[in-house]
Structure formats: C-alpha cells, structure tokens
Amino acid sequence: MVSIFWGTTFLAIRIGVGSFPPFIMAAIRHSIAGLILVSWFLLKGYRLPDRKALKTFSINGILMLAGGNGIISWGMQYVDSGLTALICALTPVWIVLINKLSGSKEKITKIAVIGFAVCLLGQIILFKDKMNLFESRNYLFGIMAIVVSNILWALGTVYSKNYVSTIPSLFATGLQMIPGGIILFIAAWLRGEFENLHPHQDALWALVYLIIFGSLFAYSAYIYMIKQLPASIASTYAYINTFVAILLGWLWLHETLDASTSIAMLITIAGVYLISRNYNA
C-alpha cells in the first residue's frame, strides 16, 4: 500500500507545481502533517523528547523533506512525473552506497555489483533518445535537482536507520516534518515564492492529497518500515512505486510512454532488485 500511494504522489506533485510554487507547496504539506501528528501525541500525554533527539529529528527532516522532497518538487516543474519516478527508482542504489561509505558491515556481493551495472544500463537506455532535451537549462537543472534529492533522501534513510528512537515512530515523523517545513518556508521566502502564490483549484486538491496520503500515510509508513527492515530492503517500495507513477503520468497527464522508457524501467527495476536482494548483512 505504501508503494501504491507513494507512486500517486509523483502525479500529485506534478499537478501541484503547475501553479503552486514548489517550496511553498512542500512547506505547507509537511508543516500541516507534522503539526497534526505532533499535536495528536501531545494531546495523548506524550512529552517532547530531549534536545539531542530533537536535533536528530530536525537533521533527518531537513535531509529527507526539505532536501529530498523540496528539491524534487522544484525539479518536477520541468521533468515529467514518470521520468522522475524512474530516476527515483535508483534510491536503493544510493542507500547501499551511502550505507557502505558510512562504515556499515553489510557486504556488497558480486551479484549486487552486477545490479549496479544493470541500473546504469537502464538509465543509459532511458536518456539515449532524450539527449536533445538537455539543451534546455531548465530540463538539465530539473534532472540534476532530482538526482540530488535522491541522494539527500538516501542520506536521511541511512541516518534514520542508525538512530534508535524511544518514542513512537509517528511522533518522530511529525517532529521531522515541522523543522523540514520551516526550512522549506525559508527557501520559499528567499526565492520570492510568496509573491507568486496563485494556485489553481487542481493544485490545491493535489496539496490536500499530498498532506493526507503522501505525508500522513506514506511517509509515516516509510519511517516505520526503515526501522524494521535493513536499509537496503526498505526502499524496495520503489518497484511498485515506479510502475504506478509512470502509468498514472501516461493516463492522466498524457506523458510519453514509449518502448525505450518501458525497457529502461524494466532493466532499472531488475538492477535494483539484484542490489537489494544480494546486499546482505
């Protein structure tokens, strides 16, 4: 279910940034969701954790939400939702690499190395017929932003996995969302986005959907999942996620779904599968 709902968020973000400034949209999304979660637990009698824990949650919120989600929202102004999802399918690859560089004892097997090569092949096939699009600075920077957002998301995932929290995961999720939202509001202010705040009705509905299904449900479930599973396995949600996003982009937004994109998707997913299933503790 996490995979399905998360796959739909690519469509929602793409619709939203059509008339909603990207950082404001992401800021409102995570701030409202965070306030709902934190308020719920405070009303139930929970207390805020100590400063060390709050610092940890803030760092994670900045990495995954301000960095990961905020930057990808900016990039999706210029890049189709399906293509974005296919690039994001490489998130488990970044997680494995960052996990290894951070000193993890998990071993990268020969089959996992083959998986890296397969993923690279998939991305080459994906972009070989799209090289002319890189002549557009907006498209180039959009792709770069999406890749950077993936790396920041992977950093946050590994960081979360290595931190042991004593409070409920949903409470921790809310405490990540609020500082992430604050940073996003600052970014929006620095970019002058408040001067161009004229969202259409479809963008507002997209925002509501993202708050409920993207943040309160899918992101909260993801944080819970990475606490229970190895970091390399936790992001395998990307398999279904990618299929859902590409299909919805094609059906709803009439995005291109040609043979090369389909082949690239299958090859990339196969590579991610090899990496995730053969990167063992």
Would you call 279 helix, strand, or coil by DSSP?
A: strand
Instruction: Characterize 10-37 residue by residue with b for buried, 16 or more Cβ atoms within 10 angstroms of its Cβ, and e for exposed.
Output: bbbbbbbbebbbbbbbbbbbbbbbbeeb
What's the rounded Cα separation, in Å, for the pair 59 and 57?
A: 6
* Residue 235 confidence (pLDDT): 55
**Residue length, the chain?**
281
What end-to-end distance do the CA atoms of the chain give, in Å?
Answer: 26
* Residue 134 confidence (pLDDT): 85
Question: pLDDT tens, position by position, for the chain (281 residues)?
Answer: 667 888 899 999 999 999 999 999 999 999 999 999 999 999 999 999 999 999 999 999 999 999 999 999 999 999 999 999 999 988 888 988 898 888 777 777 888 889 889 998 998 998 887 888 888 999 999 999 999 999 999 999 888 777 777 888 899 999 999 999 999 999 999 999 999 899 999 999 999 999 999 999 888 877 777 666 665 555 566 677 888 999 999 999 999 888 888 999 899 889 888 887 766 54
Q: DSSP for 64-131? A: IIIIIIHHHHHHTTTS-HHHHHHHHTTHHHHHHHHHHHTT---EE-HHHHHHHHHHHHHHHHHHHT-G
DSSP 211: I
E-assigned strands of the chain? 107-108, 279-280
The whole-model pTM stands at: 0.90
Residue with tokens 């995005």: 255
* Residue 48 confidence (pLDDT): 94
